[in-house]
Every structure is written in C-alpha cells, then in structure tokens.
C-alpha cells in the first residue's frame, strides 16, 4: 500500500516534469522563432540603411568633385560661398517631401498625421529658408560668412532628413513586402 502511494507520487512527479519539459521545449521554439524574426527584421532595416547611404552618395558625389576642383584651383573659400548649396538643399527638401508623401500609403491612418506634420515642418524649416537664402546669395554682391554657414547648415539638415526618409521609406516597403506589420 505504501509502495503504491510512493509509485503514484513518483508517476505524478514524472508527469509534471514531462509537462514542464514540453512547455520549455515549446517556449524555446517560440523564443527561437522570435529571435529569427528579430534577426530578419534587423536585416530589413540594415538593407534600408544601405539604400539610404546609396541615395545620399549620389547627392554628395557631385559636391565632392566640385570641391576637389575648387581646392585644386586654390579657391577653398569660394566653395563655401557657392549658391549651389541652397539650390541642392531646396531640391533635396522637395525630394524628401515626395518620399514622405509616397510613404503615406504604407502607413496606418494614425501615422498619416505625423507625416503631414513632418512635411509641413520640412517646407517651413528647410525648403522656404533654403530658397530665401538662395535669393539673398544670388542678389548680394558679396556673400557674408553667416550666409555661407547658413547655406551649409540648411544643406546638411536637408541631406540628413533626406537620408532618414530614404531609410524609413525603404524599411517600411521591405516590411510590407515580407508581411511584417
């Protein structure tokens, strides 16, 4: 009688251990699936980063060539005073707006308001100031260092926002293609 009770307890304990092991195996499988999904998601965003770098390089390469020529000619100061910085800054701002607007169809309705805010901020804080600085640079007989610095800062902001929009746009497109919501 005592042996039967001991066997019964042992059997119950082994069943409990078996159930725990089965749950641990299921949790380990689920954990591996989550890790694989995170790894895949990271790869998608890394690819999006590479696309953004590629697009930015196409914008920057002409300036590198112009800079090399101007420096070779010994006119480094004139590189900073060129009106092209404002022109390209405004163009990049416009391209960024187009990217944001294209991204709207990939977003949830609740995120559309954020994109509209970003587009408005981009117009007000980058494109319009770029065009105003361009007008002043083109109309001024001499360009002050403050205008040159402002052009450079606005160009840098435009380039950064453009790179960020390329990154986001490509990442969301890749996620949508692979069914990640």
Does residue 35 lie within any of the structural domains?
Answer: no
Is residue 27 assigned to a domain? no
- What's residue 55's pLDDT? 87
Report pTM. 0.68
Helix (H, G, I), strand (E, B) or coil at 23: helix
Residue 164 in any domain: the answer is yes
* pLDDT recorded at residue 19: 61
CA distance between the termini of the chain: 60
Q: Which domain holds residue 124?
A: 52-177
Residue 129, C-beta contacts closer than 8 angstroms, at least 6 positions apart: 150, 154
CA atoms within 13 A on the CB side of 130: 25
Asked, for residue 64, whether it belongs to a domain, the answer is yes
86, 133 Cβ separation under 8 angstroms: yes
Q: What is the pLDDT of residue 80?
A: 78
Whether 169 maps to a domain, the answer reads yes
pLDDT at 153: 92
Residue 38 lies in a domain: no
What span, in angstroms and rounded, lies between the C-alpha atoms of 17 and 51? 50
Low-confidence ranges of the chain (pLDDT < 50): 13, 30, 32-34, 36-37
Using CB atoms within 10 Å of the CB of residue 84, give its burial: 0 to 12 exposed, 13 to 18 middle, 19+ buried: middle
pLDDT of residue 172: 73
Domains in the chain, number:
1
Tokens of 47: 């690819």
Cα 158 to its chain centre, rounded Å, is 13
Three-state secondary structure string covering 92-121: HHHHHHHHHHHHHHHCCHHHHHHHHHHHHH
CA dihedral 63, 66, 69, 70 (to 10 degrees): -100
């Amino acid at each position: 009688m005592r042996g039967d009770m001991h066997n019964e307890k042992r059997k119950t304990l082994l069943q409990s251990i078996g159930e725990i092991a089965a749950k641990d195996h299921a949790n380990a499988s689920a954990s591996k699936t989550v890790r694989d999904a995170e790894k895949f998601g990271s790869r998608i965003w890394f690819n999006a980063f590479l696309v953004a770098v590629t697009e930015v390089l196409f914008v920057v390469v002409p300036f590198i060539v112009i800079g090399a020529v101007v420096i070779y000619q010994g006119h480094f100061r004139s590189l900073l005073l060129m009106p092209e910085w404002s022109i390209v800054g405004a163009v990049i701002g416009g391209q960024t707006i187009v990217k944001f607007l294209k991204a709207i169809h990939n977003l949830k309705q609740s995120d559309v308001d954020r994109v509209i805010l970003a587009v408005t901020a981009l117009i007000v804080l980058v494109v319009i100031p770029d065009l105003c600085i361009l007008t002043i640079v083109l109309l001024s007989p001499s360009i002050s260092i403050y205008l040159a610095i402002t052009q450079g800062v606005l160009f840098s902001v435009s380039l950064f926002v453009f790179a960020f929009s390329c990154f986001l746009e490509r990442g969301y497109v890749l996620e949508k293609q692979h069914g990640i919501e």
